[in-house]
Homo-oligomer: A and B are copies of this chain.
Amino acid sequence: MQFASRLDNVETSAIRELFKLLGKPGIISFAGGFPDSAMFDVEGLKEASQKALTEEPGGALQYGATEGYEPLRTQLSSFMKTKGVDVDPSGLIVTTGSQQALDLLGKTMISPGDKVIVEGPTFLATIQCFRLYGAQLISAPIDANGVKTDELEKLIAEHKPKFVYLIPTFGNPSGAMLSLERRKKVLELAVKYQTLIVEDDPYGDLYFGEAPPPSIMSLSKDVPGSRELLAHCGSLSKVLSPGLRIGWMIAPPALLAKATMCKQFSDAHTSTFSQATAAQYLKSGRMPATLAHVREVYGQRAQAMGAALKRELGDAVSFTQPNGGLFFWARLTGANGKLADANELAKRAIEKLVAFVPGAPFFAEKPDVATLRLSFATADVAKIEEGVKRLGQAL
């Protein structure tokens, strides 16, 4: 069977192979990119789904508009308002998880050979998703304050990309936080070079101390002309439930219309059952307590992991303590002749019954093999301490 040529651009990820090993009994896994199931508000979602099926069974079970279920769009518009973004319900579409927003951006915007700038490192499934549409990806370097905007400007000027894709708040895998100053700079670059900026924001609500700077979308009101050059992707996956597959995209009307057409032929619409359930949940007013709960628990775990890494690995790793999100992004320093290759460490770690993800696959260009990603989301504090101890032994 001869498959489409676009598949030549994408390999099955090395990470998938690693995940097959996670079933080993007794393993402590920092490898996942998912929230802790124990944190799901099951009772709230039970009530919400029953309400959806009782109050408007037709709406929850029938075909729906490709753009999204109207009551959910209204709730999401209000939710975005609490985060400083003024958007009409018609200014967003509901997507089947924010993964689909990325897919629709690829389908709508990328012709084979088009250039797209991403952070180095960035979300693995973004790299693969855009490459399937034939994108040539350019990596913009980051530090703990997110993408280096001076380097980004040079890359935009040189490559004239179709768009720039950023995860500015607690980025995956980097955990980095784009500073307020750089956010404004990104908006100025959008206008100066008339370049579309895609802000992917699945983690923005998962902060542990003070709130992060406003989203790029929220700041666009201060930079004339920038809002027309911005797309923003949101998601309920990390804060409520990934299984609902509820994401959304805010974008300029012309882009939103084309993305909606593409979505019509991708999956017609997102499950109205999921959408009606999410709408009832948001309407129920339980979201603020749910957010407070996940922030507290993940905050404790991040604290524990940071302390354990310092204690057990010392100067053999360098990292910035994340103030939100799900991940530590660390780098093996090679200090005192210790291992500096995260792939090798991953193999040894599995033998010691602890797992993490090597960082190299998260780079679209020039992989840094000394990097690794550790999730603190799904193991409790005791497991985190034990797991990091094992990691120290593996090293």
- Contact residue among B50, B59, B99 (Cβ-Cβ distance under 8 Å from A46): B50
Judged by a CB distance under 8 angstroms, whether A64 is at the interface is: yes
* Interface SS of A by simple majority: helix
Judged by a CB distance under 8 angstroms, whether A381 is at the interface is: no
- For A112-156 the 0/1 string (1 means CB < 8 A from B) is 001000000000010011001100000000000000000000000
CB pair A273–B277 under 8 Å, yes or no, is: yes
Residues of B within 8 A of A109 (CB): 3-4
- Contact residue among B3, B49, B57, B128 (Cβ-Cβ distance under 8 Å from A265): B128
- For A290-327 the 0/1 string (1 means CB < 8 A from B) is 00000000000000000000000000000000000000
Judged by a CB distance under 8 angstroms, whether A196 is at the interface is: yes
Residues of B within 8 A of A274 (CB): 271, 273-274
Complex CA distance for A170 and B172, rounded to whole angstroms:
47
Q: Indicate how many identical chains form the complex.
A: 2
CB pair B46–A58 under 8 Å, yes or no, is: no
CB pair B107–A243 under 8 Å, yes or no, is: no
Judged by a CB distance under 8 angstroms, whether A225 is at the interface is: no
Judged by a CB distance under 8 angstroms, whether A169 is at the interface is: no
- Contact residue among B7, B12, B100, B252 (Cβ-Cβ distance under 8 Å from A108): B7
| Size class of the A contact interface (CB-based, 8 Å) | 35 or more
Closest B residue to A10 by CB, please name it.
Answer: B261
Least Cβ distance of A336 to chain B in Å?
Answer: 38
CB pair A125–B265 under 8 Å, yes or no, is: yes
CB pair A6–B46 under 8 Å, yes or no, is: no
Least Cβ distance of A58 to chain B in Å?
Answer: 4
Q: Would A37 and B58 be within 8 Å (CB), given that A100-B266, A107-B4, A273-B244 are in contact? A: yes
Residues of B within 8 A of A266 (CB): 99-100, 103, 129, 266
CB pair B125–A107 under 8 Å, yes or no, is: no
CB pair B49–A61 under 8 Å, yes or no, is: no
Residues of B within 8 A of A261 (CB): 7, 10, 12
Judged by a CB distance under 8 angstroms, whether A174 is at the interface is: no
8 cross-chain pairs, A with B, having the tightest CB-CB distances, nearest first: A243-B272, A37-B58, A129-B265, A61-B241, A96-B267, A61-B243, A42-B57, A245-B271
Interface residues of A (CB under 8 A from B): 1-7, 10, 12, 34-35, 37, 40, 42, 45-46, 49-50, 53-54, 57-64, 95-97, 99-100, 102-103, 107-111, 114, 125, 128-129, 132-133, 162, 196, 237, 241-245, 252, 254-255, 258, 261-262, 264-274, 276-277
Given contacts A35-B62, A242-B268, 14 further A-B contacts (CB under 8 A): A1-B254, A1-B255, A2-B162, A4-B114, A40-B57, A40-B62, A59-B243, A62-B243, A95-B267, A96-B245, A99-B268, A271-B271, A273-B273, A274-B274
